[in-house]
Amino acid sequence: MTLTQRYRFIYKPLVFTACLLPLAWLACGAFGWLGVSLGADPVKELEHEAGKTALNLLLLTLAVTPVRELTGLSQLVRLRRMLGLFAFFYVVLHFAIYLVLDLELNFATLGGDIAKRPYITIGFTALLLLIPLAITSTNGMMRRLGRRWQQLHRLVYLIAILGVWHFYWQVKRDIREPLIYVGILALLLGYRVVRAWRRRRAAAALQRGAAAPTAAITSRSGSATAPERT
Amino acid sequence: MRFRVPRIAPSEITPQEVYLSRRALLAGALATGASAVLPAAEPSPQGAPLNFTVNSQYSVKETPNKFEEITTYNNFYEFGTDKDSPSHEAHTLRTRPWSVNVYGEAEVHGTFDLEDLLKGQALEERIYRFRCVEAWSMVVPWVGIPLSNLLQRFKPTSRAKYVEFTTLYDPRQMPGQRVPVLTWPYVEGLRIDEAMHPLTLMVVGLYGRVLPNQDGAPLRLIVPWKYGFKGIKSIVKIGFTAVQPRTAWNVAAPDEYGFYANVNPQVDHPRWSQASERRIGAPFLAARRPTLPFNGYADQVASLYQGMDLRRYF
Ligand code: HEM
């Protein structure tokens, strides 16, 4: 099997299935299948689990680049779009649970919440920002947008910050868990800051070395065709 | 008045036993991996039955939540901050013997055994609405005595303006106290007129039986027109004070949790609305209901706050 075939027939279906497991668990809980119980307040549990899964997938998506660069498994990028789209899927599910099961379609409350509750405002902003990313996730869009695709998709850094912030702010008192997410996000973003800084330094060194061609300095590209970083 | 729930305890607890046996079956069937799915500890069904009379005058006409809901969905940070942690962790609490220290502006001071304190007090069952500051609610059949009956025994002096309550502090029994999410021990307080109000209940039982640990055994407060966090659990100290007690949530986040904490749909929590609430146990899409001023007890208690700006004293 070629690598492409392995991704198509093994790795991608595996990741796809794994991404559906939280949904299966939520469905079992909601309908009482297989003895799964969501406790005394299933609505909050559904809302929280969907939100948590969305955040986990968002951070996993952001982990793809560091992991592939640190391990040399550059093909991992082929899984990234699926992870990102599943993150979007769970954010939408989270929002739907909130609107339908929690607010019971009370749109006045929804409007009030979005306008007045900072953690909802932030979450809603993140949801809106994810929409263009999801729409432009196709190969055709990638080709059509070219360099601008990458610029657009850097929004994901902001979205992740908003997502973690939203989690941190809705907690009543025990902030231990959101702080773990803050730490992971700091690592993921810190990695990119350090990398950019190193690149700039390398570029400067090259310029000082004058003669050397600068072709080795590539933009930080996440696309499958991106050349490997030095 | 219709006699809605006579002897509610045994009949209501039976389904729970059915539930437990079903759960045992499931646990066997699912074997490993089941722990993620099934709560590990059972809600204590073995609480001793209590002798009490039903006080229907002070009971609401709504259907109480299931015993299982009331005993697996608890905010009792002394046993962890997840709603289901207390039901798993609170078995470490030893509720007998239990003594209560009484201090401050009263003629009678000292440390009393709980049994002695309750001796001669007639227990009543009252079905109260319970509204959590997190915007969920339940209906609970508590068993207890009016707090005023207890406090009068200590003969508070005219200097007693407030009553201060303190929870047990013992991290070995209450592992959540090792984590500084709140300043331990938990302290709550009431103005003396609130404490003496006939609706204010000192609770020792639930569903006709001795109160389960996760619900605040052996002695907890219930003030039905206030947010749930005012109902301090596992009380070991009662003090009469001239100054307003420094209460746990108020100290932790003064802009979010006031000393009064009266249920008020018009005063939102800074981070969420208090205009409505979700009733635990209600069916999907039919759980949200408007929150009532003073949790529906306005007729009885609104006069306590006459002339007060309830936005300022939230
Ligand atoms: C990128 C977008 C979002 C992410 C990653 C996200 C993630 C999360 C997470 C992790 C939690 C906490 C779960 C827990 O405590 O276990 C949460 C809670 C919550 N989120 Fe979101 N969320 C997002 C967008 C939204 C949106 C758009 C809304 C609604 C407009 C929303 C409403 C809520 C609500 C109501 C809660 C529960 C708060 C409570 O317990 O009262 N979220 N979210």
| Measured distance CA(B240)–CA(B246) in Å, rounded | 13
Which pLDDT score, from 0 to 100, does residue A210 have?
64
B29 in reach of chain A (CB within 8 A): yes
Nearest chain A CA: its distance from B272 CA (Å): 6
- Count of other CB atoms within 10 angstroms of residue A30: 17
pLDDT digits (tens, 9 = 90+) for B291-301: 999 999 999 99
User: Contact B289/B277 with Cβ under 8 angstroms?
Assistant: yes
Asked if residue B308 has pLDDT above 60, the reply is: yes
B271 in reach of chain A (CB within 8 A): yes
State the residue range of the domain holding A170. 3-211
pLDDT digits (tens, 9 = 90+) for B206-243: 999 999 999 999 999 999 999 999 999 999 999 999 99
| pTM greater than the 0.90 cutoff | no
pLDDT band at B139 (very low <50, low <70, confident <90, very high): very high
Asked if residue A117 has pLDDT above 70, the reply is: yes
Question: Which residues of chain A make contact with B130, given a CB cutoff of 8 A?
Answer: none
What's the number of domains chain A is made of? Answer: 1
Q: Say if the Cβ atoms of A37 and B275 lie within 8 Å.
A: no
- Report residue A112 CA to chain centroid gap: 27
pLDDT digits (tens, 9 = 90+) for A172-206: 889 999 999 999 999 999 999 999 999 999 999 99
| Measured distance CA(A191)–CA(B28) in Å, rounded | 47
| CATH fold of B10-305 | Sulfite Oxidase; Chain A, domain 2 (3.90.420)
Q: Say if the Cβ atoms of B179 and A169 lie within 8 Å.
A: no
Which pLDDT score, from 0 to 100, does residue B271 have?
87
Q: Say if the Cβ atoms of A40 and B280 lie within 8 Å.
A: yes
* 3-class DSSP state of B263: coil
Average pLDDT for residues B105-133, to the nearest whole number?
97
Residue nearest to atom 8 of ligand 1 (CA): A51
Residue A162 domain-assigned?
A: yes
Identity (one letter) of the amino acid at A106? N
Residue A227 domain-assigned?
A: no
Ligand 1: nearest atom to the Cα of A44: 40
Give the residue from B267, B272, B273, B199 showing the smallest Cα distance to B230: B199
At a CB cut-off of 8 Å and minimum separation 6, what does B153 contact? Answer: B108, B117
User: Contact B138/B183 with Cβ under 8 angstroms?
Assistant: no
Q: Where are the domains of chain B?
A: 10-305
Phi, psi dihedral angles at A23 (to 5 degrees): -65, -45
Q: Say if the Cβ atoms of A43 and B276 lie within 8 Å.
A: no
Residue A221 domain-assigned?
A: no
Concatenated DSSP letters of B182-212: SPSSPEEEEEHHHHTSTT-EEEEEETTEEPP
Concatenated DSSP letters of B108-153: --EEEEHHHHHTTPPPEEEEEEEE-TTSEEEEEEEEEEEHHHHHHT
Residue A223 domain-assigned?
A: no
Asked if residue B276 has pLDDT above 80, the reply is: yes
Nearest chain A CA: its distance from B195 CA (Å): 27
- Count of other CB atoms within 10 angstroms of residue A174: 16
